[in-house]
Structure 1
């Protein structure tokens, strides 16, 4: 069993970066998130309480990120993955965090991480 709940292209503004120009105002970040979660109970009950609520995940991440001022996207990615694993019961998380405005000659830069399990 490898069920995935995903969120693609989630835009959240954050104060992040190591350069002075990045420390004055929030900048957009783009998240693609894949969460390993057993969907069979939710499918059987047809009840949101039994599902991994992607709207709740996105709202919680936005609230959390608004309170941070990390220097590195690596740190933010780790903290967001940990939040999803501990607060939402996902068994595994694949998280891609992109900074679309970081380099003038690139569409985005960032990190991809995988934490937890994606097996049975």
Structure 2
């Protein structure tokens, strides 16, 4: 059985992108992360140590977004997935990185890269 814990719409400012202005000015990124794990033991014992503390996860994800800049949001998504998979209970993770202020000279709602990663 696989359960899910999701954090959606997590916002942080980062300096990711290939353009100099993106690196200099930065912009808001939005992260959605869904973790796949078995929460039965945590629920049975009402034990936080047997699941993922989503508050701590959110803080760790924001640190990545606010941290070292990368050119591609695909790379950023991979780094975020690595943070999710670093928690021993997590079997796999789906991470979406939204870049709503991407430098596209046309009307658009959002740019989103979504990846799914599992333990090797």
TM-score, length of structure 1 as denominator length: 0.89
SS across alignment from 1:70: coil
RMSD between aligned alpha carbons? 1.5
Alignment of 1:34 with 2:34, yes or no, is yes
Q: How many angstroms apart in 2 are the aligned matches of 1:22 and 1:88?
A: 35
Would you say the 8 A contact 2:64–2:79 is kept in 1? no
TM-score, length of structure 2 as denominator length: 0.89
Aligned partner of 1:91 in structure 2 is: 91
Task: Mark the runs of 5 or more structure 2 residues left unpaired by the alignment.
Answer: none
Aligned partner of 1:63 in structure 2 is: 63
Q: How many pairs align?
A: 117
Q: How many angstroms apart in 2 are the aligned matches of 1:38 and 1:106?
A: 38
Task: Mark the runs of 5 or more structure 1 residues left unpaired by the alignment.
Answer: none
Alignment of 1:52 with 2:52, yes or no, is yes
